[in-house]
Amino acid sequence: MVNRTLNPKKGETFGAKSNCEITSMGHQELVGIINMDALENLGNLLGKKYDDIWSPLYKQSEINNHIHDQFTVNAQEYAKKYQNIEYWVSLLRAAFNHAKIKEFGKKMILDLGSGAGNTILPLLEIFNNSIIIATDLSVELLYILSNHLKKFDVKNNSYKLIQCDIHELNKIFKNNSFDIVVGGAILHHLYDPKKVLKQCYYTLNEEGIATFFEPFENGNLLLSLLYQLIISQNKLEKEKVPGSVINIFKQLVNDFEIRSNINKSNDIFKLLDDKWIFKRNYFEDIANDIGFKSCEIEPLTTDFKKYFEAQSKTYLRLSIGFEYAKLPLWSREIIKLADITFSEEMKRDLLTEGCIILKK
Ligand SMILES: C[S@@+](CC[C@H](N)C(=O)[O-])C[C@H]1O[C@@H](n2cnc3c(N)ncnc32)[C@H](O)[C@@H]1O
Protein backbone atom coordinates (compact mmCIF):
# COMPACT_ATOMS: atom_id res chain seq x y z
CA MET A 1 0.00 0.00 0.00
CA VAL A 2 2.98 2.34 0.30
CA ASN A 3 4.46 4.49 -2.45
CA ARG A 4 1.09 5.72 -3.66
CA THR A 5 0.01 9.19 -4.58
CA LEU A 6 -0.92 10.98 -1.42
CA ASN A 7 -3.47 13.59 -0.52
CA PRO A 8 -3.79 16.48 0.10
CA LYS A 9 -1.13 17.40 -2.45
CA LYS A 10 -2.86 16.16 -5.56
CA GLY A 11 -0.71 14.35 -8.08
CA GLU A 12 2.45 14.18 -5.98
CA THR A 13 4.19 10.79 -5.81
CA PHE A 14 6.42 9.64 -3.00
CA GLY A 15 9.19 7.13 -3.33
CA ALA A 16 11.17 5.66 -0.49
CA LYS A 17 9.55 4.63 2.77
CA SER A 18 10.50 6.94 5.65
CA ASN A 19 12.86 5.76 8.38
CA CYS A 20 10.61 6.84 11.20
CA GLU A 21 9.11 3.78 12.88
CA ILE A 22 6.13 3.64 15.20
CA THR A 23 8.30 1.80 17.73
CA SER A 24 10.40 4.93 18.17
CA MET A 25 7.32 6.57 19.75
CA GLY A 26 7.53 4.38 22.79
CA HIS A 27 4.23 2.63 22.10
CA GLN A 28 5.35 -0.90 22.75
CA GLU A 29 1.76 -2.06 22.78
CA LEU A 30 1.20 -0.74 19.27
CA VAL A 31 3.72 -3.11 17.81
CA GLY A 32 1.44 -6.05 18.51
CA ILE A 33 -1.66 -4.56 16.95
CA ILE A 34 -0.58 -2.53 13.92
CA ASN A 35 1.11 -3.67 10.71
CA MET A 36 3.77 -0.98 10.99
CA ASP A 37 5.23 -1.67 7.57
CA ALA A 38 1.98 -0.55 6.01
CA LEU A 39 2.21 3.00 7.40
CA GLU A 40 4.07 6.23 6.75
CA ASN A 41 4.36 9.26 9.01
CA LEU A 42 2.58 12.00 7.03
CA GLY A 43 4.76 14.57 8.78
CA ASN A 44 7.71 13.31 6.74
CA LEU A 45 5.77 13.62 3.51
CA LEU A 46 3.37 16.53 3.89
CA GLY A 47 5.12 18.74 6.39
CA LYS A 48 5.38 19.18 10.15
CA LYS A 49 1.70 20.03 10.55
CA TYR A 50 0.84 16.37 9.87
CA ASP A 51 3.58 14.90 12.05
CA ASP A 52 2.54 11.73 13.84
CA ILE A 53 -0.48 11.11 11.61
CA TRP A 54 0.16 7.71 10.02
CA SER A 55 -1.15 6.47 6.72
CA PRO A 56 -0.85 3.65 4.20
CA LEU A 57 -1.08 6.52 1.65
CA TYR A 58 -4.12 6.97 -0.56
CA LYS A 59 -4.65 8.38 -4.01
CA GLN A 60 -6.77 11.51 -3.96
CA SER A 61 -9.31 9.67 -6.13
CA GLU A 62 -9.61 6.91 -3.50
CA ILE A 63 -10.36 9.50 -0.84
CA ASN A 64 -12.83 11.37 -3.07
CA ASN A 65 -14.69 8.14 -3.62
CA HIS A 66 -15.60 8.06 0.09
CA ILE A 67 -15.61 11.57 1.54
CA HIS A 68 -16.41 15.05 0.25
CA ASP A 69 -15.82 18.72 0.99
CA GLN A 70 -17.55 18.84 4.38
CA PHE A 71 -14.94 16.41 5.80
CA THR A 72 -11.95 17.74 3.83
CA VAL A 73 -11.69 21.35 2.64
CA ASN A 74 -14.47 22.44 5.03
CA ALA A 75 -13.22 20.31 7.94
CA GLN A 76 -12.78 23.27 10.33
CA GLU A 77 -16.35 24.42 9.80
CA TYR A 78 -17.66 20.85 10.14
CA ALA A 79 -15.72 20.24 13.36
CA LYS A 80 -16.99 23.47 14.90
CA LYS A 81 -20.60 22.80 13.97
CA TYR A 82 -20.75 19.26 15.31
CA GLN A 83 -18.37 19.32 18.28
CA ASN A 84 -20.34 18.24 21.34
CA ILE A 85 -18.12 16.37 23.77
CA GLU A 86 -20.59 16.43 26.68
CA TYR A 87 -23.31 14.83 24.56
CA TRP A 88 -20.90 12.10 23.49
CA VAL A 89 -19.78 11.44 27.08
CA SER A 90 -23.41 10.73 27.95
CA LEU A 91 -24.01 8.58 24.83
CA LEU A 92 -20.90 6.49 25.41
CA ARG A 93 -21.53 6.07 29.15
CA ALA A 94 -25.09 4.92 28.40
CA ALA A 95 -23.82 2.45 25.78
CA PHE A 96 -21.18 0.95 28.08
CA ASN A 97 -23.64 0.74 30.98
CA HIS A 98 -26.01 -1.02 28.66
CA ALA A 99 -23.24 -3.39 27.60
CA LYS A 100 -22.71 -4.08 31.32
CA ILE A 101 -19.01 -3.31 31.17
CA LYS A 102 -17.85 -3.73 34.74
CA GLU A 103 -14.29 -2.59 34.51
CA PHE A 104 -13.43 0.91 33.29
CA GLY A 105 -9.67 0.57 33.54
CA LYS A 106 -7.08 0.33 30.81
CA LYS A 107 -8.42 -0.86 27.44
CA MET A 108 -7.10 -1.09 23.92
CA ILE A 109 -9.63 0.90 21.88
CA LEU A 110 -10.11 1.32 18.15
CA ASP A 111 -12.18 4.37 17.18
CA LEU A 112 -13.53 4.33 13.61
CA GLY A 113 -14.08 7.53 11.63
CA SER A 114 -12.92 9.68 14.54
CA GLY A 115 -13.37 13.02 12.79
CA ALA A 116 -12.36 15.89 15.05
CA GLY A 117 -12.68 13.62 18.09
CA ASN A 118 -16.18 13.74 19.58
CA THR A 119 -15.69 10.20 20.87
CA ILE A 120 -11.95 10.27 21.57
CA LEU A 121 -11.89 12.61 24.58
CA PRO A 122 -14.90 10.91 26.23
CA LEU A 123 -13.29 7.49 25.72
CA LEU A 124 -10.05 8.67 27.31
CA GLU A 125 -12.08 10.00 30.22
CA ILE A 126 -14.22 6.89 30.66
CA PHE A 127 -11.41 4.34 30.29
CA ASN A 128 -8.49 5.44 32.41
CA ASN A 129 -4.99 4.90 31.00
CA SER A 130 -6.31 3.40 27.81
CA ILE A 131 -4.68 3.44 24.42
CA ILE A 132 -6.87 4.69 21.60
CA ILE A 133 -6.25 4.33 17.91
CA ALA A 134 -8.15 7.08 16.11
CA THR A 135 -8.85 6.51 12.41
CA ASP A 136 -10.28 8.64 9.64
CA LEU A 137 -9.85 9.06 5.92
CA SER A 138 -9.71 12.84 6.27
CA VAL A 139 -6.22 14.09 7.19
CA GLU A 140 -7.75 17.53 7.66
CA LEU A 141 -9.98 16.21 10.46
CA LEU A 142 -7.15 14.16 11.97
CA TYR A 143 -5.05 17.31 12.07
CA ILE A 144 -7.84 19.15 13.94
CA LEU A 145 -8.12 16.16 16.28
CA SER A 146 -4.38 16.16 16.97
CA ASN A 147 -4.60 19.85 17.93
CA HIS A 148 -7.55 19.13 20.26
CA LEU A 149 -5.64 16.39 21.99
CA LYS A 150 -2.63 18.65 22.44
CA LYS A 151 -4.87 21.44 23.73
CA PHE A 152 -6.36 19.09 26.31
CA ASP A 153 -2.87 17.93 27.28
CA VAL A 154 -3.58 14.31 26.48
CA LYS A 155 -0.40 12.21 26.87
CA ASN A 156 0.78 11.44 23.37
CA ASN A 157 1.52 7.86 24.28
CA SER A 158 -2.18 7.23 24.92
CA TYR A 159 -3.31 7.66 21.32
CA LYS A 160 -2.26 7.17 17.73
CA LEU A 161 -3.81 8.87 14.71
CA ILE A 162 -4.13 6.83 11.54
CA GLN A 163 -5.47 7.92 8.18
CA CYS A 164 -7.28 4.90 6.84
CA ASP A 165 -10.23 3.76 4.81
CA ILE A 166 -11.95 1.66 7.42
CA HIS A 167 -13.16 -0.78 4.75
CA GLU A 168 -9.51 -1.96 4.88
CA LEU A 169 -8.97 -2.38 8.61
CA ASN A 170 -7.46 -5.81 8.05
CA LYS A 171 -4.56 -4.33 6.06
CA ILE A 172 -3.51 -2.23 9.05
CA PHE A 173 -4.66 -3.92 12.25
CA LYS A 174 -3.90 -7.41 13.45
CA ASN A 175 -6.58 -9.83 14.60
CA ASN A 176 -7.60 -10.01 18.29
CA SER A 177 -6.08 -6.62 19.10
CA PHE A 178 -8.81 -4.49 20.68
CA ASP A 179 -11.06 -4.70 23.74
CA ILE A 180 -13.42 -2.10 22.35
CA VAL A 181 -14.29 -0.75 18.90
CA VAL A 182 -16.29 2.48 18.70
CA GLY A 183 -17.86 4.18 15.69
CA GLY A 184 -19.68 7.48 16.27
CA ALA A 185 -21.95 8.26 13.29
CA ILE A 186 -19.71 6.45 10.83
CA LEU A 187 -21.40 3.33 9.40
CA HIS A 188 -24.03 5.32 7.48
CA HIS A 189 -21.21 6.97 5.50
CA LEU A 190 -19.85 3.68 4.16
CA TYR A 191 -20.47 1.75 0.97
CA ASP A 192 -20.19 -1.55 2.80
CA PRO A 193 -20.85 -1.42 6.56
CA LYS A 194 -21.08 -5.23 6.64
CA LYS A 195 -17.48 -5.55 5.42
CA VAL A 196 -16.36 -3.18 8.16
CA LEU A 197 -18.35 -4.98 10.87
CA LYS A 198 -16.80 -8.26 9.81
CA GLN A 199 -13.32 -6.79 10.14
CA CYS A 200 -14.26 -5.29 13.52
CA TYR A 201 -15.14 -8.81 14.64
CA TYR A 202 -11.66 -10.03 13.78
CA THR A 203 -9.81 -7.07 15.29
CA LEU A 204 -11.71 -7.52 18.57
CA ASN A 205 -10.35 -9.69 21.37
CA GLU A 206 -12.45 -12.57 22.62
CA GLU A 207 -15.25 -10.98 24.70
CA GLY A 208 -14.60 -7.66 22.93
CA ILE A 209 -17.39 -5.15 22.39
CA ALA A 210 -18.16 -2.93 19.39
CA THR A 211 -20.55 -0.02 19.66
CA PHE A 212 -21.93 2.27 16.96
CA PHE A 213 -24.29 5.25 16.89
CA GLU A 214 -26.42 5.45 13.76
CA PRO A 215 -29.63 6.81 12.17
CA PHE A 216 -32.56 4.40 11.80
CA GLU A 217 -35.24 4.14 9.16
CA ASN A 218 -38.12 3.20 11.49
CA GLY A 219 -38.70 6.55 13.18
CA ASN A 220 -37.41 8.64 10.31
CA LEU A 221 -39.93 7.23 7.85
CA LEU A 222 -42.70 8.16 10.27
CA LEU A 223 -41.21 11.67 10.37
CA SER A 224 -41.14 11.62 6.57
CA LEU A 225 -44.91 10.98 6.57
CA LEU A 226 -45.48 13.86 8.99
CA TYR A 227 -43.34 16.22 6.91
CA GLN A 228 -45.26 15.24 3.74
CA LEU A 229 -48.52 15.98 5.55
CA ILE A 230 -47.22 19.39 6.59
CA ILE A 231 -46.04 20.15 3.03
CA SER A 232 -49.50 19.48 1.56
CA GLN A 233 -51.44 21.11 4.41
CA ASN A 234 -49.26 24.22 4.03
CA LYS A 235 -50.96 24.94 0.70
CA LEU A 236 -54.31 25.28 2.47
CA GLU A 237 -53.30 27.17 5.61
CA LYS A 238 -53.25 30.95 5.97
CA GLU A 239 -50.25 30.93 8.29
CA LYS A 240 -47.46 29.41 6.20
CA VAL A 241 -44.45 27.34 7.19
CA PRO A 242 -41.39 29.31 5.94
CA GLY A 243 -40.15 28.25 2.49
CA SER A 244 -36.71 27.39 3.89
CA VAL A 245 -38.31 24.87 6.29
CA ILE A 246 -40.51 23.38 3.54
CA ASN A 247 -37.33 22.89 1.50
CA ILE A 248 -35.64 21.08 4.38
CA PHE A 249 -38.70 18.84 4.87
CA LYS A 250 -38.64 18.04 1.13
CA GLN A 251 -34.92 17.30 1.27
CA LEU A 252 -35.37 15.03 4.30
CA VAL A 253 -38.24 13.11 2.65
CA ASN A 254 -36.12 12.62 -0.47
CA ASP A 255 -32.97 11.81 1.49
CA PHE A 256 -34.67 9.13 3.65
CA GLU A 257 -36.09 7.50 0.52
CA ILE A 258 -32.71 7.36 -1.24
CA ARG A 259 -30.80 6.17 1.81
CA SER A 260 -33.26 3.43 2.72
CA ASN A 261 -32.45 1.67 -0.58
CA ILE A 262 -30.08 -1.14 0.37
CA ASN A 263 -28.42 -1.20 -3.07
CA LYS A 264 -25.65 1.42 -3.09
CA SER A 265 -24.44 0.88 -6.66
CA ASN A 266 -26.34 3.95 -7.98
CA ASP A 267 -23.91 6.75 -8.94
CA ILE A 268 -25.71 9.14 -6.63
CA PHE A 269 -23.97 7.49 -3.66
CA LYS A 270 -20.60 8.62 -5.03
CA LEU A 271 -21.75 12.16 -4.28
CA LEU A 272 -23.49 11.55 -0.96
CA ASP A 273 -21.67 11.51 2.38
CA ASP A 274 -24.79 10.12 4.08
CA LYS A 275 -25.48 6.83 2.34
CA TRP A 276 -27.58 4.78 4.78
CA ILE A 277 -30.49 4.92 7.10
CA PHE A 278 -30.64 1.53 8.79
CA LYS A 279 -33.28 -1.02 9.59
CA ARG A 280 -32.94 -2.81 12.93
CA ASN A 281 -32.72 -6.17 11.23
CA TYR A 282 -29.86 -5.02 9.01
CA PHE A 283 -27.63 -5.18 12.09
CA GLU A 284 -29.32 -8.14 13.73
CA ASP A 285 -28.91 -10.31 10.61
CA ILE A 286 -25.31 -9.20 9.97
CA ALA A 287 -24.31 -9.75 13.60
CA ASN A 288 -25.75 -13.22 13.42
CA ASP A 289 -23.99 -14.00 10.09
CA ILE A 290 -20.62 -12.78 11.35
CA GLY A 291 -20.86 -14.65 14.62
CA PHE A 292 -21.29 -11.91 17.22
CA LYS A 293 -22.74 -13.39 20.42
CA SER A 294 -25.32 -10.62 20.70
CA CYS A 295 -26.62 -7.50 19.00
CA GLU A 296 -28.60 -4.96 21.00
CA ILE A 297 -30.07 -1.74 19.62
CA GLU A 298 -31.12 1.06 21.96
CA PRO A 299 -32.54 4.53 21.20
CA LEU A 300 -30.13 7.38 21.96
CA THR A 301 -32.52 9.07 24.37
CA THR A 302 -34.43 8.18 27.50
CA ASP A 303 -36.83 11.07 27.07
CA PHE A 304 -39.68 9.83 24.89
CA LYS A 305 -42.39 12.35 25.73
CA LYS A 306 -41.53 14.67 22.83
CA TYR A 307 -39.48 12.23 20.78
CA PHE A 308 -40.53 13.27 17.26
CA GLU A 309 -40.58 16.95 18.23
CA ALA A 310 -37.03 16.72 19.60
CA GLN A 311 -35.74 15.04 16.44
CA SER A 312 -37.46 17.65 14.24
CA LYS A 313 -35.94 20.43 16.35
CA THR A 314 -32.48 18.93 15.80
CA TYR A 315 -32.95 18.63 12.03
CA LEU A 316 -34.08 22.26 11.70
CA ARG A 317 -31.38 23.60 14.00
CA LEU A 318 -28.52 21.73 12.32
CA SER A 319 -29.63 22.34 8.74
CA ILE A 320 -30.72 26.01 8.74
CA GLY A 321 -30.49 27.13 12.37
CA PHE A 322 -34.29 27.45 12.50
CA GLU A 323 -36.04 27.66 15.87
CA TYR A 324 -38.78 25.01 16.03
CA ALA A 325 -41.02 27.18 18.24
CA LYS A 326 -41.36 29.61 15.32
CA LEU A 327 -43.27 27.06 13.21
CA PRO A 328 -47.02 27.74 12.90
CA LEU A 329 -48.99 26.00 15.63
CA TRP A 330 -50.95 23.78 13.19
CA SER A 331 -47.68 22.24 11.88
CA ARG A 332 -46.34 21.61 15.39
CA GLU A 333 -49.70 19.99 16.24
CA ILE A 334 -49.16 17.45 13.44
CA ILE A 335 -45.86 16.36 14.97
CA LYS A 336 -47.35 16.48 18.47
CA LEU A 337 -50.09 14.10 17.35
CA ALA A 338 -47.45 11.42 16.65
CA ASP A 339 -45.84 12.07 20.04
CA ILE A 340 -49.21 11.68 21.78
CA THR A 341 -50.35 8.69 19.74
CA PHE A 342 -47.34 6.40 20.18
CA SER A 343 -46.47 4.89 23.55
CA GLU A 344 -42.90 4.96 24.89
CA GLU A 345 -42.51 1.29 23.93
CA MET A 346 -43.57 2.03 20.36
CA LYS A 347 -41.21 4.99 20.17
CA ARG A 348 -38.37 2.74 21.34
CA ASP A 349 -39.17 0.52 18.38
CA LEU A 350 -39.65 3.46 16.03
CA LEU A 351 -36.26 4.84 16.89
CA THR A 352 -34.77 7.63 14.76
CA GLU A 353 -31.22 7.21 16.08
CA GLY A 354 -29.82 4.27 17.94
CA CYS A 355 -26.81 2.75 19.59
CA ILE A 356 -25.82 -0.71 18.37
CA ILE A 357 -23.93 -2.91 20.83
CA LEU A 358 -22.23 -6.00 19.44
CA LYS A 359 -20.54 -8.55 21.68
CA LYS A 360 -17.97 -11.01 20.36
C1 LIG B 1 -20.26 12.11 10.83
S2 LIG B 1 -18.53 12.08 10.95
C3 LIG B 1 -18.32 11.44 12.57
C4 LIG B 1 -17.03 11.88 13.21
C5 LIG B 1 -16.88 11.50 14.68
N6 LIG B 1 -16.97 10.07 14.90
C7 LIG B 1 -17.93 12.22 15.50
O8 LIG B 1 -18.79 11.54 16.06
O9 LIG B 1 -17.88 13.43 15.56
C10 LIG B 1 -18.06 10.73 9.92
C11 LIG B 1 -16.56 10.58 9.76
O12 LIG B 1 -16.29 9.40 9.01
C13 LIG B 1 -15.19 9.64 8.15
N14 LIG B 1 -15.25 8.65 7.07
C15 LIG B 1 -16.20 8.53 6.09
N16 LIG B 1 -15.94 7.47 5.32
C17 LIG B 1 -14.80 6.90 5.80
C18 LIG B 1 -14.03 5.77 5.44
N19 LIG B 1 -14.36 5.00 4.40
N20 LIG B 1 -12.93 5.46 6.17
C21 LIG B 1 -12.59 6.24 7.24
N22 LIG B 1 -13.27 7.33 7.64
C23 LIG B 1 -14.37 7.65 6.93
C24 LIG B 1 -15.37 11.07 7.72
O25 LIG B 1 -14.18 11.66 7.26
C26 LIG B 1 -15.88 11.71 9.02
O27 LIG B 1 -14.85 12.17 9.82
Q: Which domains does the chain have, with CATH numbers?
A: 22-215 (3.40.50.150), 217-274+303-352 (no CATH)
Q: Residue 27: its pLDDT value, please?
A: 53
141 pocket-lining for ligand 1 (C-beta < 6 Å): yes
Does the pLDDT value for residue 332 go beyond 70? yes
Q: Residue 19: its pLDDT value, please?
A: 36
312 pocket-lining for ligand 1 (C-beta < 6 Å): no
304 pocket-lining for ligand 1 (C-beta < 6 Å): no
Percentage of the chain beyond pLDDT 90 is: 86
Q: Count CB-CB contacts under 10 A for residue 277.
A: 25
Alpha-carbon gap, residue 267 to 81, rounded angstroms: 28
Q: pLDDT category, 281, cuts 50, 70, 90?
A: very high
Does the pLDDT value for residue 33 go beyond 50? yes
pLDDT digits (tens, 9 = 90+) for 204-237: 999 999 999 999 999 999 999 999 999 999 999 9
83 CA closest ligand 1 atom index: 9
Most informative mutation of 186, 190, 264, 271 for ligand 1 (most atoms within 8 A of CB) = 186
Q: Residue 343: its pLDDT value, please?
A: 96
Mean pLDDT, rounded, for 146-165: 93
Alpha-carbon gap, residue 313 to 335, rounded angstroms: 11
Q: Residue 273: its pLDDT value, please?
A: 93
| Contact residues for 223 (Cβ-Cβ < 8 A; gap 6+) | 252, 256, 308, 311, 312, 352
Query: 36-41 contacts: CB < 8 A, separation 24 or more?
Result: 37/2, 38/1, 38/2, 38/171, 38/172, 39/162, 39/172, 40/2, 40/14
Q: Count CB-CB contacts under 10 A for residue 114.
A: 27
Q: Residue 287: its pLDDT value, please?
A: 98
Alpha-carbon gap, residue 355 to 213, rounded angstroms: 4
Q: Residue 28: its pLDDT value, please?
A: 64
User: In the predicted model, what is the mean pLDDT of the chain?
Assistant: 91
Atom 27 in ligand 1: residue holding the nearest Cα: 115
Query: From ligand 1's centre to the CA of 77, what distance in Å?
Result: 15
Query: From ligand 1's centre to the CA of 156, what distance in Å?
Result: 22
Helix, strand and coil content of the chain, in percent to the nearest 5, comes to 50, 15, 35
75 pocket-lining for ligand 1 (C-beta < 6 Å): no
Does the pLDDT value for residue 83 go beyond 60? yes
**8 Å CB contact between 41 and 23:** no
| Contact residues for 106 (Cβ-Cβ < 8 A; gap 6+) | 127, 128, 129, 130, 131
